[in-house]
Amino acid sequence: MMASKQWIYAGIVLIVAFLTSCSQEEESHKFTIGFSQCTEGDAWRKAMHKEMEREASFHPELSLQIKDGKNSSATQVKHIKKFIEQKVDLLIVSPNESEPITPVVEEAFEKGIPVILVDRKISSSSYSAYVGADNFQIGKLAGEYVSNLLKGEGKIIEVWGLQGSSPAIERHRGFLEGISQYPEVKVVAEVKGDWEKEVAKKRFPAVFLQHPKADLVFAHNDVMAMGSYESLHGLKQKNRLKFIGFDGLAGPNGGLQLVEDGILDATFLYPTGGEEIIQLAYNILHNQPYKKENILNSTVIDGRNVHIMKQQSNKILSQEENINRQQNKISEQIKIYNNQRTLLYVLIISLVIIIILGAYAVYSLRLRHETNRALMAKNREILEQRNEIAVMAKKAEKANEAKLKFFTNISHEFRTPLTLILGPVEDALQSNISTVLRKDMLLVRQNALRLLKLVNQLMDFRKVERKKMRLQTSESDLVKFVKEVVQPFERLARKRHIQLKIIARVKEINVYFDKDKIDKILFNLLSNSFKFTKENGRITILIELSEDRNHVLITVEDTGKGMTPSQVANAFDRFYTAEDNASLGTGLGLALSKEFIKLHHGEISVVSKEREGTRFIFNLPLGKEHLKEEEIIMEPNKSEQSAPLIAGVLDFDQVLFSGTQVQEPSETAKEHTILVIEDNKELREFLVSRLATDFNVVDAPQGAFGLQQAFDIIPDLIICDVTLPQKDGLEVTAMLKKDMRTSHIPVILLTAKDSLEYKIDGIQAGADLYVTKPFSYLYLLERVKGLLRNRDLLKVYYNSAIAVDTKVQTAQPKQLDKKFINDVAALVEKNLQNTDLSANDIAENLGMSRVHVYRKMKALLGYSLNDYIVNTRLKKARHLLLSSQMNISEIAYEVGFSSPAYFSTAFKNHFNMSPSDFKSTRPGKEKNLV
Ligand code: FRU
């Protein structure tokens, strides 16, 4: 890029240099010539100028400036001063009068300006050169000529030019010298004509009238002679009076014409010298030799030679005209030449610019090409690098995922042993044990719970990381909730003499929050505070509204050991490992708290000073606009809510019952059979041994075998782990629930996976209950009993439903069970008249074995299929007895009894009344007979 710019600069410099050199060629030899002319008003001087200009045109380097003095010496002085100021290269002066002009000409000359005097002189020799005729000689010539013309005798009137001008003085002197040989030739009078025709014309008549006998008028120039002549218009004497003048100009009113016309007797040629002046100026300016005095020749023109002179002058005039024409042509040619030259310059410049631009374009094209190539190479490199990075990132992600998975699985694995630790510990704590052992057991429980808390936090992190952590908020009074969370800490506070205080600036405030998560946060903050606050310290929990009343602020403040600035800066960084990381707890709790707060669209911050204390503040937005629809759940059932403290420690969805609860004696002792499908040997054995107290227990170490067992024994309840080899718990449940034989069996799923999704999966598979490890055995037992109780209630329900209408209308039971009951009812109803209708027929029709039908009937309705058939016949009979005109025998056959006697016995056994007695009773009594 730099190089290309240099190219352009070089080009521009070249063009400028070229242009200036062209114009300098013209400019360098330009000379300014200032010409101070005494007057421009007469033909003689006009002729002079013409000549000068013509001559100057041959020398284009000469520039001529003419200033007209208008016959005023003062004006002329001014002009010359201007020329001096202007620093002209050469000064030409034709002084109006000698004396007044002399000083200024001297000044110019002294300042080094060459001065050429023309026609008239100054009174000093401070000038470079003079061009003009010798006025004294011409005057003398005229004197001699006049004397001859007058033949040695005559009176002369002399018409003077300006008396201060040198030609007038010299011509006068010369004339007097010329006539001096002739004493009878006399100048009798003088007229002041000032070189002007009109002046002479005006003044002459008066003088002439005084000298009417004068013979000749001697005028210093032709125009004054003509003026004098004209002034005598109409006078007789005019004809004999002779007129002599000077100048002898060619042209219409020039002296030559006047001589030819006989108005003048003679004129003396006085050359204007225009050509000579310019030649002289040229020489001076070009430092060429020149003469100081350049005297122009003169001659007399009278009747004898006027013709030749005129012819010659005409010739000269026409030649001059020719020259002028040629000059004009040359000027035109020069103009054309100049235009063409300018055009040529423009073309050359354009060409140079085009060449430069072309070169630049080629250069930049090449440059761009190269840059493009380099860029493409770079691009390729970057692309390769990006791909490599992507591959590496994918690998890292995979490795990370695998690590996290492993890590989660390990965490899961912790839960089973923890259940096994906590179960016996709970049991031990409930039994009569020594104080020492109780203390130990409490220590074991406390540490197992602590370990559980860590495992849970780790798993929460995994969920947060996988964006699986979901907010499940419901609207509750936050003040009440905080009090509930804080309350269990009161004992600890009392014990350690710590002042624990809740300051609620609002009595009640309804906030949408996830109880589980806020509980964890508060529990974590409080645990930290208690950990670092010494005896007699203070822990304060402040609940208030934000200034804008859009948030609720919760502050947990302690007077503990405080944190270092670096610990404060990294308080919420889970990867931060301070030297003394003990002061930040596990390092996970705060980071997790922050994530939970973020999920709530709130903020958490910490202010701490070493040895003074720490203050955590978090806020939660009010209202529910910030929450997604799926983040709001209905208020959970009070009975299902977990007590905050325990949840804070154990944070899973069921409660470890406190040891004060006493196990109720089993009502269902050995009546029910439970199948335990669990791959963990210890847990399986633990469950089997415990459940065996109350139930018949069958176990299976994996899913497929468990399933087989279920089909074989049709248990009353199944406890199944979710994570099982080969066939997992969800599959087992789904298969059990899909099968008519087992669909009625309640299934409890055991798992360490406590996320909502897993629960939903479990429920979708058909599980009746979801219990998360670690669990309390007592809790599990209660749930087992509860489910079995429900099953019994269901039996009553089915029975009553069948009793009333023989049809099951409710939607409460599981669909398959409903179908089963319906199918059985429909088959029995349809074949009621069939005396031979047996359980076998029904089982066959249902596509099930007799045993399965028997067990299912037993489980769902509490009696066998045969009993059900008999019951149905009797219920139908009762109905017919009430509503039909049929007699007892007809009814007996109608409902499928083989004989009326058997019908009567069966009816009496069932209803404690014979059919005939029943028929005779009022319909109102019917309701008592169920
Ligand atoms: C022109 C003129 C001429 C004369 C000359 C003398 O201005 O008057 O007629 O010869 O000047 O300076």
What is the full DSSP assignment across 357-410? HHHHHHHHHHHHHHHHHHHHHHHHHHHHHHHHHHHHHHHHHHHHHHHHHHHHHH
Provide the token pair at 569: 């800066």
Q: Whose CA is nearest to atom 1 of ligand 1?
A: 44
pLDDT per position as a tens digit, 362-413: 999 999 999 999 999 999 999 999 999 999 988 888 887 777 677 777 777 7
**How many whole angstroms separate alpha carbon 666 and alpha carbon 660?**
18
Residues in Cβ contact with 470 at an 8 Å cutoff, skipping those fewer than 6 apart: 630, 631, 756
- What is the CA(192)–ligand 1 centre distance, in A? 14
Query: Nearest-CA neighbor of 471 among 329, 624, 633?
Result: 633
Q: How confident is the model at residue 670 (pLDDT cuts 50, 70, 90)?
A: low
Query: What CA–CA distance (Å, rounded) separates 793 from 276?
Result: 152
pLDDT score for 22 = 53
Confidence grade of residue 587 (pLDDT, cut at 50, 70, 90): low
3-state secondary structure of 837: coil
What are the DSSP calls for 659-727, one per residue? TTPPPPPPTTTTTSEEEEE-S-HHHHHHHHHHHTTTSEEEEESSHHHHHHHHHHH--SEEEEESS-SSS
Residue 191 confidence (pLDDT): 97
Q: How confident is the model at residue 861 (pLDDT cuts 50, 70, 90)?
A: confident
* Ligand 1 pocket: which of 72, 228, 270 to mutate (most atoms within 8 A of CB): 270
Instruction: List pLDDT tens digits, range 279-292.
Output: 999 999 999 999 99
Least confident interval from 450-459, 679-688, 739-748? 450-459
Distance CA 884, CA 188 (A): 194
| pLDDT attached to residue 17 | 63
Looking at residue 684, its amino acid is R
Q: Tell me phi and psi for residue 439, to 5 degrees.
A: -60, -45
Which sign, positive or negative, has the C-alpha torsion 59, 62, 67, 71? negative
- Rounded CA separation 72/256 (Å): 29
Q: 197 CA distance to ligand 1 centroid (A)?
A: 11
The confidence band for 856, taking pLDDT boundaries of 50, 70 and 90, is: confident
- What pLDDT does residue 75 have? 97
Which residue type does 844 have?
E
Q: Calculate mean pLDDT across residues 201-218.
A: 95
**Residue 357: its pLDDT value, please?**
93
CA–CA dist 524, 532 (Å, integer): 13
Q: What is the pLDDT of residues 130-154, one digit of tens each?
A: 999 999 999 999 999 999 999 999 9
Taking the CB of residue 666, how many other CB atoms lie within 10 A of it? 14
Query: Token pair for residue 643?
Result: 């007590």
* Tokens 């007799």 -> residue: 850
**Residue 635 — pLDDT band, cuts 50, 70, 90?**
low
Coil/strand/helix, residue 632: strand
Q: What is the mean pLDDT of residues 476-503?
A: 90
Quick check: 234 and 210 in contact, CB under 8 A? no
Q: Is residue 809 predicted with pLDDT exceeding 80? A: no
Contacts of residue 315, Cβ cutoff 8 Å, sequence gap at least 6: none
In the reported structure, the alpha carbon of residue 321 is separated from the centroid of ligand 1 by a whole-number distance in angstroms of: 24
Q: Which residue has the higher pLDDT, 640 or 917?
A: 917
**In the prediction, which pLDDT does 651 show?**
30
> CA angle, corner 494, sides to 491 and 499, nearest 5?
120
Q: Are strands 154-160 and 185-192 parallel, antiparallel or unpaired?
A: parallel
Query: Ranked by mean pLDDT, which of 99-103, 524-528, 750-754 comes out on top?
Result: 99-103
Q: Which two tokens stand for residue 841?
A: 């027929």
Task: Kindly indicate the confidence band of residue 666, based on its pLDDT and cuts at 50, 70 and 90.
Answer: very low
Position 101 scores a pLDDT of: 97
Choice between 174 and 916, residue whose per-residue pLDDT is larger: 174
Closest C-alpha residue for ligand 1 atom 8: 195
Tokens 């800490």 correspond to 489
Pocket of ligand 1, candidates 71, 96, 195: which has the most ligand atoms within 8 Å of its Cβ, to mutate? 195
**Least-confidence region, from 83-87, 158-162, 547-551:** 547-551
Inter-residue contact 265 to 145 (CB < 8 Å): no
160-163 own/partner pairs: CB under 8 Å, 24+ apart = 160/190, 160/191, 160/192, 160/193, 160/194, 160/220, 161/193, 161/194, 161/195, 161/220, 161/221, 161/224, 162/71, 162/96, 162/97, 162/194, 162/195, 163/192
- φ and ψ at residue 227, rounded to 5 degrees: -60, -45
- Between 17-21, 561-565, 733-737, 836-840, the lowest mean confidence (pLDDT) is in 17-21
Q: Does pLDDT of 658 surpass 60?
A: no
- On the 0-12 / 13-18 / 19+ scale of CB atoms within 10 A, 747 is buried
Residues 174 and 144: their CA atoms lie apart, in Å, by 10
Q: Is the pLDDT of residue 158 over 90?
A: yes
Out of 38, 141, 247, 298, mutate this one to test ligand 1's pocket (max ligand atoms within 8 Å of CB): namely 247
Q: Which residue has the higher pLDDT, 763 or 500?
A: 500
12 CB-near residues (< 8 Å, 6+ apart): none
Question: Can you tell me which atom of ligand 1 is nearest the CA of 165?
Answer: 12
On the question of pLDDT at 211 being above 50, the answer is yes
Residue with tokens 């069970």: 817
Least reliable range by pLDDT among 29-38, 265-274, 632-641, 749-758: 632-641
How confident is residue 167, by pLDDT bands cut at 50, 70 and 90? very high
Look up residue 45 and give its two tokens.
């001087």
Ligand 1 centroid from CA 105, angstroms: 20
The answer to whether residue 439 scores a pLDDT higher than 50 is: yes
What is the CA(189)–ligand 1 centre distance, in A?
21
Residue nearest to atom 11 of ligand 1 (CA): 195
pLDDT band at residue 11 using 50, 70 and 90 as cut-offs? low
pLDDT at 16: 62
The span from the CA of 709 to the CA of 697, in Å, is 11
Distance between Cα 41 and ligand 1 center (Å): 11
Binned at pLDDT 50, 70 and 90, residue 199 comes out as very high
The answer to whether the peptide bond before residue 774 is cis (omega within 30 degrees of 0) is: yes
Q: Which residue has the tokens 């002079």?
A: 48
Mean pLDDT on 6-33: 63
In this structure, are residues 463 and 755 in contact, taking their beta carbons and an 8 Å threshold? Answer: yes
Instruction: Give me the percent of the chain exceeding a pLDDT of 70.
Output: 86
Dist. CA 670 → ligand 1 center (Å): 166
Ligand 1 binding pocket (C-beta < 6 A) is 39, 42, 44-45, 119-120, 161, 165, 167, 195, 221, 246-247, 270
Ligand 1, closest atom to CA 120? 12
Region 470-476: mean pLDDT is: 87
Q: Which atom of ligand 1 is nearest to the CA of 41?
A: 7
pLDDT per residue as tens digits for the range 865-908: 888 888 888 888 888 887 788 888 888 888 888 888 888 888 88
Under the banding of pLDDT at 50, 70 and 90, the label for residue 181 is very high
Question: Distance, CA 299 to ligand 1 centroid (Å)?
Answer: 16
Q: What is the pLDDT of residue 58?
A: 87
| Residue 476 Cα to chain centre, angstroms | 45
pLDDT band (50, 70, 90) for residue 203? very high
How many alpha carbons lie under 13 Å from residue 871 in its C-beta half-sphere? 19
Contact 736, 720 (CB under 8 A): no
Ligand 1 centre to CA of 221 (Å) is 6
Residue type present at position 864:
S
pLDDT interval class at 10 (50, 70, 90): low
Q: Looking at the CA of residue 221, tell me the nearest atom of ligand 1.
A: 9
Residue pointed to by tokens 């001529």: 64
768 vs 29, residue with greater confidence: 768
Collect contacts of 370-375 with beta carbons under 8 A, ≥24 apart: none
CA distances from 552 to 99, 481, 502, 634 (A): 115, 13, 15, 21
**Which helix (H) or strand (E) is 925 found in, with range?**
none
Which own/partner pairs from 121-128 qualify as long-range (CB within 8 Å, at least 24 positions apart)? 121/95, 121/166, 122/93, 122/95, 122/98, 122/166, 123/98, 123/99, 126/102, 127/93, 128/284, 128/292
Of 914, 923, 828, 844, nearest in space to 876 by CA = 828
Q: How many whole angstroms from 119 Cα to the centroid of ligand 1?
A: 8
**pLDDT for the residue numbered 808:** 37
Domains within the chain, CATH numbers bracketed: 136-266 (3.40.50.2300), 473-632 (3.30.565.10), 673-799 (3.40.50.2300), 802-837+867-928 (1.10.10.60)
SS3 269: strand
Average pLDDT score over residue span 267-294: 96
Residues 220/255, Cβ–Cβ less than 8 Å? no
Q: How far is CA 666 from CA 168, 673, 695, 747, 794, in A?
A: 169, 13, 9, 20, 20
Arithmetic mean of pLDDT, 694-712: 90
Structure tokens at 128: 């470079």
Q: What is the pLDDT of residues 527-544, one digit of tens each?
A: 889 888 989 999 999 999
Q: In what order do the strands lie in the sheet with 551-558?
A: 499-504, 538-545, 551-558, 613-621, 603-609
Instruction: Name every residue whose Cβ is closer than 8 Å to that of residue 43 and which is 6 or more positions away in sequence.
Output: 223, 249, 251, 253, 254
Q: At 685, list the tokens.
A: 């054995």
- Please say whether the beta carbons of 554 and 514 come within 8 A: no
Q: Could you tell me the end-to-end alpha-carbon distance of the chain, in angstroms, rounded to an integer? A: 108
**Is pLDDT above 90 for 515?**
no
Contact 485, 525 (CB under 8 A): no
| Rounded Cα distance, 753 and 462, in Å | 12
Contact 441, 433 (CB under 8 A): yes
Query: Bigger pLDDT: 414 or 747?
Result: 747
Predicted pLDDT at 224:
97
- State yes or no: pLDDT of 833 exceeds 50: yes
For residue 635, the tally of other CB atoms under 10 A from its CB is: 10
The Cα angle at residue 475 between residues 469 and 479, in degrees rounded to 5: 105
